[in-house]
């Protein structure tokens, strides 16, 4: 794994930035996380294209990242919203070019998901699409998209969130597969079809199954069974993506540790793909309304505990991505309802939080 760091991430750049800008320079002056993680884990963020157009956000992303993922710009609705075979790669290409110009790797997220798929995918005029047509659409979409980014996206989330464990409100089949147009029209084989198409389109890319609650023992069992099934059928799958959307209390570090070891025993590499730590434990009552110093301190300890685990397991875990740059733009402030949240490493003014310091310390101290 190439985790070399270019000179832009060394502290000279920070000193220059401090000397030349009166604007909030603290964040830019902070030591590079990518540098602190180099030789240990790839490190980076989910980004939006607007964050790459200059300004402090751009500086932070280029300074602190050795890997990036587009938060939405590489999803099917973004790339192929207009119809079959009609692609809009311009925005995603900008993200990839930004990364390439700075020696930053790109994860591709995501080829198939039950959300953010364009409507045309599942329609044939007024009718629902038939199985054969949907399979050919899946194969064509993946061939075109993975082919387009071949050699520039080093790892793909091929299938996202197809398995469900312990979610009473979610429709699921007897094998634990989420009921969705993909599953209902194609059948469980949609996963195999997707992985085969991705492997054909870029044999050099690492192919991942990505999901949340990957530490839940029942989810571990479902994902492990899927991996064994794919392998028995000669299908290439390289890794598991742990979304790792956490709160202050959940999940427990030791549950994550057990799961990482179990996936590791299958010979899978692992990426932490969407780490964030919500201040709210649950959403029904006692919602947090501000990030008090005490809460931020507890959050930083929680980041340290999790990141220390990922670093300790770095024979199995190769990359760590935080789902968003700053508290100004986290999905958690709008889902499942609008609320105050502050789950990331930089605050809404793009200044480093105690969590940033904790992650930096963990990366530097890992031996």
Catalytic residues: 161, 274
d(CA 174, CA 172): 7
Structure tokens at 197: 């198409």
User: Is 136 near ligand G3I (CB under 6 A)?
Assistant: no
Residue 326: DSSP 8-state: B
From the CB of 49, what's the least distance to ligand G3I, in Å?
11
Report which of 206, 277, 265 is spatially closest to residue 241, judged by C-alpha positions.
206
Query: Within 10 A of 257 (CB to CB), how many other CB atoms are there?
Result: 15
- Cα dihedral 199→209→309→247 (10° resolution): 150
Residue whose CB is less far from ligand G3I, 116 or 282: 116
* Residue carrying structure tokens 């280029």: 62
Strands (DSSP E) found in the chain: 42-47, 67-70, 105-112, 123-124, 127-128, 155-160, 206-211, 239-242, 245-247, 269-278, 317-322
Say whether residue 276 binds ligand G3I (CB under 6 A): no
Which is closer to ligand G3I, CB of 109 or CB of 137?
A: 109
Q: Restricting to residues 188-247, name those near ligand G3I by CB under 6 A.
A: 243
Is the Cβ of residue 216 or residue 243 nearer to ligand G3I in the bound state?
243
- Report in angstroms how near the CB of residue 243 gets to ligand G3I at its nearest: 5
Q: Does 170 bind ligand G3I (CB under 6 A)?
A: no
Does the footprint of ligand G3I cover residue 116 (CB under 6 A)?
yes
By C-beta, is 243 or 247 nearer to ligand G3I? 243
CB of 72 to ligand G3I, least distance (A): 4
Backbone angles phi, psi at 313, to 5 degrees: -100, 25
Do the Cβ atoms of 27 and 81 come closer than 8 Å? Answer: no
- Name which of 134 and 332 has its Cβ closer to ligand G3I: 332
Binding to ligand G3I, residues 18-77 (CB under 6 A) = 71-72
Positions in the binding site for ligand G3I (CB under 6 A) = 71-72, 115-116, 160, 243, 274, 331, 335
């Amino acid at each position: 794994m190439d985790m070399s760091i270019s000179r832009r991430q060394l502290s000279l750049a920070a000193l220059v930035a401090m000397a030349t800008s009166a604007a909030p320079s603290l964040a830019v002056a902070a030591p590079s996380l990518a540098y602190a993680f180099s030789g240990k884990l790839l490190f980076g963020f989910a980004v939006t294209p607007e964050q790459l157009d200059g300004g402090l956000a751009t500086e932070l992303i280029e300074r602190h990242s050795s890997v990036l993922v587009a938060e939405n710009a590489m999803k099917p609705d973004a790339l192929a919203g207009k119809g079959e075979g009609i692609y809009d790669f311009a925005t995603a290409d900008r993200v990839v070019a930004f990364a390439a110009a700075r020696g930053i790797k790109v994860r591709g997220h995501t080829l198939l998901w039950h959300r953010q798929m364009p409507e045309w995918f599942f329609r044939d005029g007024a009718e629902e699409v038939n199985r054969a047509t949907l399979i050919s659409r899946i194969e064509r979409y993946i061939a075109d998209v993975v082919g387009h980014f071949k050699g520039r996206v080093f790892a793909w989330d091929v299938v996202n969130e197809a398995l469900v464990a312990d979610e009473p409100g979610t429709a699921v089949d007897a094998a634990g597969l989420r009921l969705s147009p993909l599953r209902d029209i194609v059948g469980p084989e949609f996963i195999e079809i997707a992985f085969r198409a991705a492997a054909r389109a870029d044999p050099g890319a690492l192919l991942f199954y990505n999901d949340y609650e990957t530490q839940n023992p029942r989810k571990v069992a479902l994902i492990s069974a899927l991996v064994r099934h794919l392998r028995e059928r000669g299908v290439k799958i390289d890794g598991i993506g742990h979304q790792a959307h956490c709160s202050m209390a959940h999940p427990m570090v030791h549950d994550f540790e057990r799961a990482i070891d179990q996936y590791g025993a299958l010979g899978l590499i692992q990426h932490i793909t969407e780490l964030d730590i919500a201040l709210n434990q649950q959403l029904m009552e006692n919602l947090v309304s501000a990030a008090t110093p005490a809460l931020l301190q507890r959050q930083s300890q929680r980041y340290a505990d999790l990141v220390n685990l990922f670093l300790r397991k770095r024979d199995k875990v190769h990359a760590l991505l935080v789902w968003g740059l700053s508290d100004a733009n986290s999905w958690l402030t709008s889902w499942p309802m609008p609320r105050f949240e502050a789950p990331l490493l930089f605050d809404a003014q793009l200044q480093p939080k105690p969590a940033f310091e904790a992650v930096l310390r963990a990366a530097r101290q890992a031996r």
